[in-house]
Chains A and B, each alone.
Chain A
Amino acid sequence: MKNKVNLDLVSLKFIFDRYKSYIIPVVIILVSVILFYQFVIPEFSALREAQREAKELSQELEVMKSNLNVLSNIDEDVLDSQLEILTLALPLNKDAIRILNSIYATAQKAGVSLGAFSFAIGDISKSENTIDLPVIKLSVPIEADVVGVNSFIEIINRTVPLSEISSVQIGNKSSKIELSSYYKSLADSSYNPKARINPVSQKELTLIDQLNGFEDASVVATSSGQVQALILTK
């Protein structure tokens, strides 16, 4: 009994001999698990992403088809006339002449005289990009009594371009109104080719009809001599 026996080695050899046939299946299972985490799970994510993208694209396609349908069924002449009505109501720029025409035509109809007035229209070419609607403010003295001024503000409320009277001061013989005339430039309209285009609704048609019923100062001839206003261009 001179040879030394390493018991640990013998034990390991015994265990290896006993379980060596399990090594390959264990390796296969491990490889399967790694494959599952490395490839199958990312593939599922890719599938979900592809489905989400396809759903979004399908919805966009539906919108585009609907837009195409709306656009192909529009009567362009009607659209032009509607646009004309709206442009009269809301001029594209600071149209000082039309505003003056509107005020003088209204004064004529109300049977009142206007005093000399002035207003600042600012930079004509400057596009405004504010949340509030852009306006031109005027202070208009009127030489008339209560009834005359009331008639004036009633008429101007039904006149295009659209305006709003912010204050009225009525005196015995002379009065003054503060007027804001609205306009809207094209730059304020945002364009998105994928946005849904809706045809003009019944409610919108009613509004267009209402605006069409408003008086248009631009068709009233006003002699240039009547324009006494001083236009201050900044």
Chain B
Amino acid sequence: MSANINLLLHADEESLKQNRKKKLFNLIAVGLLMAVCLIAIVVFILIKAVNPESIRKQQEDVLGQISQFQNRQVKLLILSNRIETAEKILKTRRDLPKITSSLLAKIPSDLPVDTLEVNGKTVMISGQSKSLSAIGELIDNLTDMARRKEIIKSLTLSSLTFDGSKGAYQVSVTSEL
């Protein structure tokens, strides 16, 4: 058995290690506390620096100046509102004069129109003629418009009758706008 074998640490060495550990622990504790305090102070200063109250005061000043032009402000508001409405009306309303003019232009001169009805969705034309060719021309013209989707989308021949007393053909067509 060797006399140099010693399984226990020397007492001084052990207490030195313990002291180092304690110092490190103390340092961490104090450092953490200081860090928390420092962060709290910095955030507090930042909150004070942002200060929305000063912006509010500026707003009040500007609002005070704007109030001098209140009359103009109200007029401009009404104007904008009315422009918006007028624009909406002009944009959405159907151009009926254009629709009726275009349809009338397609009706042959030897086919007097008895009725022309135009509403939001449909148009109905009825007339009479002694000539079938005039009626054919009307149907051809309107069919061409419907094919090109020019004003009307479809064409239905509602009736075609012969009035013996007048000696004339009566025609009625309906179209979708």
**Cβ B55 vs Cβ A90 within 8 A:** no
**Cβ A164 vs Cβ B86 within 8 A:** no
**Cβ A40 vs Cβ B40 within 8 A:** yes
Contacts of B118 in A (CB 8 A): 167-168
Chain A 57-87 per-residue mask, 1 if CB under 8 angstroms from chain B, else 0: 1101100110110111010100110110011
Interface size class of A (residues with CB under 8 A): 35 or more
**Cβ B29 vs Cβ A32 within 8 A:** yes
Partner-contacting stretch, out of A113-121, A182-190, A216-224: A182-190
**Cβ A57 vs Cβ B97 within 8 A:** no
**Cβ A86 vs Cβ B25 within 8 A:** no
Contacts of B157 in A (CB 8 A): none
Q: Which of A76, A133, A149, A166 makes the CB contact (< 8 A) with B89?
A: A133
Contacts of A144 in B (CB 8 A): none
**Does B164 touch A at the CB level, under 8 Å?**
no
**Cβ B25 vs Cβ A79 within 8 A:** no
**Does A227 touch B at the CB level, under 8 Å?**
no
> How many Å lie between the Cα of A197 and that of B56 in the bound state?
20
Chain A 157-179 per-residue mask, 1 if CB under 8 angstroms from chain B, else 0: 10000101111111110000010
Partner-contacting stretch, out of B3-11, B65-73, B138-146: B65-73
**Does B58 touch A at the CB level, under 8 Å?**
yes
**Cβ B87 vs Cβ A207 within 8 A:** yes
**Cβ B59 vs Cβ A25 within 8 A:** no
**Does B100 touch A at the CB level, under 8 Å?**
yes
Partner-contacting stretch, out of A8-16, A42-50, A93-101: A42-50
**Cβ B89 vs Cβ A162 within 8 A:** yes
**Cβ B83 vs Cβ A57 within 8 A:** no
Distance from B70 Cβ to chain A, minimum over Cβ atoms (Å): 9
**Cβ B40 vs Cβ A43 within 8 A:** yes
Chain A 28-51 per-residue mask, 1 if CB under 8 angstroms from chain B, else 0: 110111011001100110110011
> How many Å lie between the Cα of A148 and that of B103 in the bound state?
15
**Cβ B40 vs Cβ A86 within 8 A:** no
**Cβ A133 vs Cβ B55 within 8 A:** no
**Cβ B78 vs Cβ A83 within 8 A:** yes
Distance from A105 Cβ to chain B, minimum over Cβ atoms (Å): 17
Interface residues of B in 152-170 (CB under 8 A from A): none
**Does B151 touch A at the CB level, under 8 Å?**
no
Distance from B63 Cβ to chain A, minimum over Cβ atoms (Å): 6
Contacts of A210 in B (CB 8 A): 90
Q: List 26 A-B contacts (CB under 8 A).
A: A25-B25, A28-B32, A31-B33, A32-B35, A40-B40, A40-B43, A43-B40, A47-B50, A57-B56, A61-B59, A64-B66, A71-B69, A71-B76, A74-B72, A80-B75, A83-B75, A86-B82, A146-B104, A157-B95, A165-B96, A167-B119, A168-B118, A171-B114, A197-B77, A207-B83, A210-B90
Task: Given contact pairs A67-B66, A67-B73, A133-B88, enumerate 18 new A-B contacts (beta carbons under 8 Å).
Answer: A25-B26, A28-B29, A29-B33, A61-B55, A61-B59, A68-B62, A71-B66, A72-B69, A83-B82, A86-B78, A150-B100, A162-B86, A168-B117, A171-B114, A182-B85, A197-B73, A200-B80, A208-B83
